[in-house]
Structure 1
Amino acid sequence: MAPAAASGGSTLPSGFSVFTTFPDLLFVCEFDAAYHCVAALFYLSASVLEALATISMFDGFTYKHYHENIAAVVFAYVVTLIYVVHAVFSLIRWKSS
């Protein structure tokens, strides 16, 4: 029963036929290793800019705002680290396929 069910459904598109339907087009960007590397670079640049803005805060900002910016910097670097790890595993998967 399992082989009949597996062969009776629709097949996954390959090559340029991926671009013919909208849902399949979304999977192209989701599994692209280059996309993950570029996104990790953007996250890193945003993290560095947020840290620079926090360091260069002038008088007039309250202590609470400073702590909120420190928390934003910490979370930005955590997200950057997670995205870099995801990009590395994406590259490993891409190389093995």
Structure 2
Amino acid sequence: MQATWKLPNGQAITLDVAEGTNLMQAAVARGIPGVVGECGGSLSCATCHVVVAPDWADRAGPPGAFEEDMLDITEAERQPSSRLSCQIRMSADLDGIVVSVPAP
């Protein structure tokens, strides 16, 4: 399964992501710029903020209550389809997902 991260400079990076792996783990493991994952995915920071492409937003689902709170403190401005990538787990339904890493 694949996911693509679009960077603020226009570059797109597509990676193979194993089922069940969250997008933050995949991004950090491969050094995607702008995805830090400072808390390691424990939902206590917002350093893995991404914006899910509109075509994928429904499939990725809405943020949970705690995620909503963390999205309120992101460094980059929150967008309607903002998510914390640690909360998006790769599945067959998300194969091909596209997310943007917002500029700080």
TM-score normalised by length of structure 1: 0.25
Which is helix-richer, 1 or 2?
1
Which is strand-richer, 1 or 2?
2
Higher relative contact order (CA 8 A, sep 6+): 2
TM-score normalised by length of structure 2: 0.24
